Amino acid sequence: MSGHSTYEPKTGFERWLDQRLPLIRFAQDTMVGFPTPKNLNYWWTFGGILAMMLVFQIVTGIILAMHYVAHVDYAFASVERIMRDVNYGWLIRYMHANGASMFFIAVYIHIFRNIYYGSFKAPREVLWLLGCVIYLLMMATAFMGYVLPWGQMSFHGAVVITNLLGALPVVGDAITTWLWGGFAVDNPTLNRFFSLHYLLPFMIAGVVALHIWALHVPGNNNPLGVNVKSKEDTVPFHPYYTVKDGFAMGVFLLLFAYFVFYNPNILGHADNYIPANPLVTPAHIVPEWYFLPFYAILRAVPNKLGGVLAMFGAIGCMFVLPWLDTSKVRSMRFRPTARLYFLIFVLACLVLGLCGAKLPDDPVIPGLTSFTLVDSDLNSYVWLSRIAALYYFAYFLVITPILGLTETPLPVPESISAPVLSHPATSPAGAVASPEKRG
């Protein structure tokens, strides 16, 4: 923990327990007294939101597992039975399905915030790496969860993604067969996916605990990216950030509730309400929206193995980011050039997502035929995804390392309290509050 413990046992029992298992001290130091920079903005609330979503997913998932039947002949009907005959089953299932999407919305904002404010830099590399591991586990969990309803997209998505491993030289076929538990995606595959889908969230929870531990050793980064210098720079986590995170969670829950109650199927795909049929391939196999950027990178490479390597490489780049970034300045508030490249990076990710949802050969500008380059018309989504994918990799491998050496950052403030604050205190510290005026 950063700083020494501020916990003082007050009762006899607390003193007794503190000498044996300092559980209350741990909770107090972690969630109550933890000194937190006082200038964290709303982008910092997504950590708490993610923790909340993980709890939602685990709780709703455990209830769903009580009613779900992991068998190719019954899975689809059992999911619909949950929607129709289980008390509030529609609520539990729609919360779980849309919760996955909300989880990814939050995690993407969390990751982008991290890159923008340079939170991954020393001394928080391990914190960042653990976050990357959580993200990987989330992707595996979400992918296997999407297979469980055993609709058309479930099945054919599973076929496409598991077949990717077959592209690996020599061991590819053996790995795919081992993963399937047979020679095609079938009942053994569904069973093991269900088993792993139940296991992985608890692994995520474990890594989240490490993630929070690794956060509490160096403490939070902050929008200025400067280190905490004195007690003046921080406030205790409770009540300052419990209430701010709580408010952000409320806003996030309103968005979540909109999807669950008023548009529960908009983020899914209609084809997944058709029971899986190995003999009928949907015209257009697309993954869930949160995988679309990686799907676009996969398809951007004309070679199957190359595509698979590019897709995994795109995630691999994230892992090594702390060692690719040469800039000593954390926050992009003081790196105007980096900020520009970062905004283009966000745009490239969104464009990749768009390309992943489109057919590669469809024209970006309808009606315009330009000229064929390599294998398709230049005016096509596959070429757009190639340009965006190129930028994606260039951002990590070229721009980030070079920019840190060449750019001239703006002057960085001495401390968090030093610069002119955006929200000065509305009454002098220590003044008597006038509750009738504010809040």
Partner 1 sequence: MLRKGFALAALGLALIAGPAAAATTHEEAKDVHWSFEGPFGKFDKAQLQRGYKVYREVCSACHAMNLMYFRNLGQPGGPFYDEKYPNPNDNPYVKSLAKDIQVSDIDSETGDAIKRPATSADRFPSPFPNEAAARASNGGALPPDLSVIAKAREAGPAYVYSLLSGFEEAPAGLAVPPGKHYNPYFPGDLSSFWTGKGPAPKGGFISMPPQLAPNKVTFDDGTPSTVQQQAKDVAAFLAWAAEPKMEQRKAFGFGAMIYLLILTGLLYVSYRRVWRNVAH
Supply 411's token pair.
């002057």
Answer for which of 253, 267, 315, 394 binds partner 1 (CB under 8 A) is 253
Dihedral in degrees, nearest 10, Cα atoms 334, 340, 342, 346: 140
Q: Which stretch binds partner 1 (CB under 8 A): 112-120, 283-291, 320-328, 334-342?
A: 283-291
Q: Does 373 bind partner 1 (CB under 8 A)?
A: no
264 lines the binding site for partner 1 (CB under 8 A):
yes
Stretch 128-147 residues interacting with partner 1 (CB under 8 A): none
Min dist. Cβ of residue 153 to partner 1 (A): 11
Is residue 270 part of the contact set for partner 1 (CB under 8 A)?
A: yes
- The reply on whether position 169 binds partner 1 by CB under 8 A is no
CA distance 183 to 163: 11
- 238 contacts: CB under 8 Å, gap ≥ 6: 31, 32, 33
For partner 1, the binding residue among 21, 170, 374, 431 (CB under 8 A) is 431
Amino acid in the structure at residue 202: F
Cα separation, 158 vs 161, in Å, equals 5
Q: Is 360 in the site for partner 1 (CB under 8 A)?
A: yes
Binding residues for partner 1 restricted to 301-340, rule: CB under 8 A? 304, 307
First to last CA, the chain: 33
Residues 36-65 that bind partner 1 (CB under 8 A): 38-39
DSSP string, 123-152: T-HHHHHHHHHHHHHHHHHHHHHHHTT-BH
CB 115 within 8 A of CB 342: yes
C-alpha 103/C-alpha 137 separation (Å) is 13
Spatial separation of the C-alpha atoms in residues 209 and 145, rounded to whole Å: 23
**Crossing angle, helix 237-262 and helix 46-67, to 10 degrees?**
50
Q: Which of residues 172-211 bind partner 1 (CB under 8 A)?
A: 183-185
The two tokens of residue 63 are 């209830």
Q: Which of 2, 6, 30, 163 binds partner 1 (CB under 8 A)?
A: 163
Tell me if 426 contacts partner 1 by CB under 8 A.
yes
Judged by CB under 8 A, which stretch of 18-26, 52-60, 208-216, 273-281 contacts partner 1? 273-281
Q: Per-residue contact track with partner 1, 233 to 252, x per CB under 8 A?
A: --x---xx--xx-xx--xx-
Q: Is 393 in the site for partner 1 (CB under 8 A)?
A: no
**Is residue 31 close enough to count as binding partner 1 by CB under 8 A?**
no
Residues numbered 77 to 116 that lie near partner 1 (CB under 8 A) are 77, 80-81, 83-84, 90-91, 94
Residue 79 or residue 214: which is nearer to partner 1 going by CB? 79
Q: Site size for partner 1, by CB under 8 A?
A: 72
